[in-house]
């Protein structure tokens, strides 16, 4: 591995937000392909963040800082990825369902999905079922992710999936759900394709749903 790839991974792992743009630019100046910078330097760093989080060796504030470092690097790299015609893993539409104003977990999933190579369309929070339908029609995503933090808003996930089904769009996308009150049994009951127990698990699920792992 090139030394710069190792430095990129370490900077993400340590949450070095200010260092990432310079490191990415240095890698580009060395003539390294943008896709290699992402795949060999940045993604492995976020993969290790996810692994440590699952083991209990990292906590949410540290994961958020690492995700912010990833975003800082992507700010420099993203235009060069577009210029080089790199194909991403696919598009993913994310939103917190109607009635729920919590979005920290959803935002973290979005940042980590982008770091993993997805194009992320973040609808925000308190999203009506119709807004998900419009986004699916407009963006043609591979995956739709829904979040809810309250037991009182969990039902909105089922309503949204039903609306997507009634619009004839369910066969076009994979649907994943997550949030503190959600579990795998609930996800199966409402017709979701999968459930992520936390942000790293959500990213792994999204990759599985598009056949990337």
The CATH number that domain 3-83 falls under is 1.10.1240.10
- pLDDT value, residue 86: 67
Mean predicted confidence (pLDDT) in 199-205 = 90
pTM: 0.82
Share of the chain above pLDDT 70, in %: 99
Q: What is the dihedral of CA 135, 139, 143, 149, to 10 degrees?
A: -30
pLDDT at 34 over 80: yes
Q: What pLDDT, in 10s, does the model give residues 76-106? A: 998 888 777 667 789 999 999 999 998 888 9
Structure tokens at 148: 């809810």
Structure tokens at 150: 């309250």
- pLDDT value, residue 78: 85
The CATH number that domain 90-209 falls under is 3.40.50.280
Mean predicted confidence (pLDDT) in 37-51 = 89
Structure tokens at 38: 């992402």
Cβ-based neighbour number of residue 85 at 10 Å:
8
At residue 54 the predicted structure's pLDDT band, cuts being 50, 70 and 90, is confident
Share of the chain above pLDDT 90, in %: 71
Apex 156 CA angle, 150 and 157, nearest 5: 95
At residue 172 the predicted structure's pLDDT band, cuts being 50, 70 and 90, is very high
Q: Where are the CATH 1.10.1240.10 domain residues in the chain?
A: 3-83
């Amino acid at each position: 591995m090139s030394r710069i790839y190792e430095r990129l991974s370490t900077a993400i792992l340590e949450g070095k937000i200010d260092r990432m743009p310079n490191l990415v630019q240095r890698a580009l100046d060395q003539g390294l392909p943008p896709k290699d910078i992402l795949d060999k330097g940045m993604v492995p760093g976020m993969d290790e963040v996810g692994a440590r989080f699952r083991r209990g060796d990292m906590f949410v504030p540290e994961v958020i800082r690492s995700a912010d470092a990833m975003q800082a690097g992507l700010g420099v790299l993203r235009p060069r990825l577009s210029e080089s015609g790199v194909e991403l893993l696919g598009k993913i539409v994310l939103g917190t369902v109607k009635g729920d104003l919590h979005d920290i977990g959803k935002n973290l999933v979005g940042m980590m999905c982008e770091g993993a190579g997805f194009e992320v369309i973040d609808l925000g929070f308190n999203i009506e079922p119709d807004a998900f339908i419009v986004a699916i029609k407009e963006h043609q995503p591979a995956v739709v992710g829904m979040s809810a933090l309250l037991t009182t808003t969990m039902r909105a996930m089922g309503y949204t999936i039903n609306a997507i089904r009634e619009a004839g769009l369910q066969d076009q996308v994979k649907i994943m759900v997550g949030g503190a009150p959600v579990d795998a049994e609930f996800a199966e009951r409402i017709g979701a394709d999968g459930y992520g127990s936390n942000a790293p698990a959500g990213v792994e699920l999204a990759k599985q749903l598009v056949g990337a792992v």
